[in-house]
Structure 1
Amino acid sequence: MEAGPRVLIVEDDARLAAMLRELLQSEGYEVSLAPDGQRGLHLGLTESFDVAVLDRGLPVIDGLDLLTKLRERGVLVPVLVLSALGNAADRVEGLDRGAEDYLAKPFDIDELLARLRVLRRRPASTVPVIRFAGGTLDAANRVVTRDDGGRLALSERETALLERLARRPNQVFSREDLLENVFADADDPGIVDTYVHHLRRKLGRELIETVRGIGYRMGAAP
């Protein structure tokens, strides 16, 4: 039997989350629930979904901050924000932060189902190729093409780290920032240094500059 579409629901209201799970399962969805933003971030980064439904007022990580973190990591799942904050300014903010749709609570069940069907029909977004000194990063396919024509495959975490640095080549990123925004599911701060080492080994030591006492930034061409 063919599996149904996968949906991630991040909602801290246990009764509403249970109702949404029952409703969507009856429509053929495979449902994963997260009761807070941290769990939602973990699921969003480690599993693949066809669509996601996010509340805004979540514990640990706010819903829109969660959405930003997912987009920064290249997670392009279509997102519907489902929130009690439903005035025009709230909707605009949600859409500007990367949501494809926004529905205010209380909501009509048939409308919610229709909006999810529309999101599932949309063509997948693409992550642009990012230029950096010495090459380009295709984050969607986790491939670096060097200016000399060489191509190198990266792991998911190597890609996420290089993308964050390369998008803002003049900015110095602290280890704390990189740990929070690239390695949110890790407990050991040393993982940042480990993956900087991995990238330097693959792409050249000059690729990432150490700013003593602060953190890292993109360096010169390797």
Structure 2
Amino acid sequence: MMQADAPRILVVEDDRRLASMLAELLTAEGYDVALAHDGQRALHEGLTREFDVMLFDRGLPVMDGLDVLGRLRSSGVVTPTLVLSALGNPADRVEGLDRGAEDYLAKPFDIDELLARLRVLRRRLNPSVPVLRIPGGRFDPDRREVTTDSGAVVVLSEREGDLLALLARRPQQIFTRDDLLAIVFADADETGVVDTYVHYVRKKLGRGCILTVRGIGYGLGRAT
């Protein structure tokens, strides 16, 4: 179940396979995702709903993505927007930024870079992105820092942080090793890497921070 305070993102992409992949990825990251596959629908969504961030393709059916963004800006919509486009030469990027985008990323793109850029845009709108409660402390996913209940600060690596953030954002869900491999460790081939990073996180934060459900996988530990 999506959390009530999940950040809302509008994904505008006419390639339905890519749109579906982005929606799955962003949902796993804790976003509440709305999809639009053409410019007219994107304009309607942008004018009638509030979002924390928007992700726009350029070459859309009905209306070009930058034209949609321009109409939203002229209507007073100031939602931070990242343009994700195959048009990636310097002139294209300059045009996108000049016409209202806060950031521009060319296809093909690195998933981790895309997620990081979206986090930056969210912080511009709301600099105080809430930390996540975990057993024994609080976790700041942007800084990858855990502040324990005793006041100690523990810094996680990027992959350790991504793993803990996914579990903490969906504390009631148990993820299989295959789920975690696909979402957090997409460049790895074997589920053993999941067990390795679970071990790393537990070594830094204690065994109770990640719950093992035998025969299924892992979830966020339960506070005692």
Q: TM-score range by the shorter chain?
A: 0.5 to 0.7
Contact 1:71–1:98 (CA under 8 A) maintained in structure 2 = no
**Given residue 63 of structure 1, which amino acid in structure 2 is its aligned partner?**
A
User: Shift in Å at residue 125 of structure 1?
Assistant: 5.3
Match of 1:69 among 17, 20, 25: 25
Identify the residue that residue 13 of structure 2 maps to in structure 1: 55
Match of 1:119 among 91, 101, 121: 101
User: Helix, strand or coil: the match of 1:184?
Assistant: coil
Moved more, 123-132 or 198-207: 123-132
Structure 1 residues 189 and 54: CA distance shift in structure 2, 3 A? farther
Identify the residue that residue 206 of structure 1 maps to in structure 2: 208
User: Shift in Å at residue 160 of structure 1?
Assistant: 1.0
Moved more, 127-136 or 109-118: 109-118
User: Shift in Å at residue 57 of structure 1?
Assistant: 2.4
Deviations 1:1-34 (A, max 9, x none): xxxxxxxxxxxxxxxxxxxxxxxxxxxxxxxxxx
Q: How does 1:171-182 map to 2 (within 5 A)?
A: 171-182=173-184
Identify the residue that residue 18 of structure 1 maps to in structure 2: none
Identify the residue that residue 147 of structure 2 maps to in structure 1: 145
User: Shift in Å at residue 220 of structure 1?
Assistant: 3.7
Identify the residue that residue 84 of structure 1 maps to in structure 2: 38
- Deviating above 6 A after TM superposition, structure 1's stretches of 4 or more consecutive aligned residues are 95-98
TM-score under structure 2 normalisation? 0.57
User: Helix, strand or coil: the match of 1:183?
Assistant: coil
Identify the residue that residue 196 of structure 1 maps to in structure 2: 198
CA RMSD between the two structures = 4.0
Contact 1:207–1:219 (CA under 8 A) maintained in structure 2 = yes
Structure 1 residues 220 and 110: CA distance shift in structure 2, 3 A? closer
User: Shift in Å at residue 108 of structure 1?
Assistant: 4.5
Contact 2:147–2:154 (CA under 8 A) maintained in structure 1 = yes
Structure 1 residues 178 and 108: CA distance shift in structure 2, 3 A? closer
Q: How does 1:122-137 map to 2 (within 5 A)?
A: 123=124, 127-137=129-139
User: Shift in Å at residue 65 of structure 1?
Assistant: 3.5
Is structure 2 residue 218 aligned with structure 1 residue 216?
yes
Aligned-partner Cα distance in 2 for 1:152–1:68 = 30
User: Shift in Å at residue 212 of structure 1?
Assistant: 0.7
- Structure 2, unmatched stretches of 5+, are 1-10, 74-95, 104-120
Contact 2:14–2:61 (CA under 8 A) maintained in structure 1 = no
User: Helix, strand or coil: the match of 2:142?
Assistant: coil
Aligned-partner Cα distance in 2 for 1:56–1:96 = 21
**Percent identity (aligned):** 42
TM-score under structure 1 normalisation? 0.58
Identify the residue that residue 83 of structure 2 maps to in structure 1: none
Contact 1:142–1:154 (CA under 8 A) maintained in structure 2 = yes
Deviations 1:126-181 (A, max 9, x none): 54210112111100111010000000111111111111111222321111111122
User: Helix, strand or coil: the match of 2:102?
Assistant: helix
Contact 1:91–1:102 (CA under 8 A) maintained in structure 2 = no
Contact 2:146–2:155 (CA under 8 A) maintained in structure 1 = yes
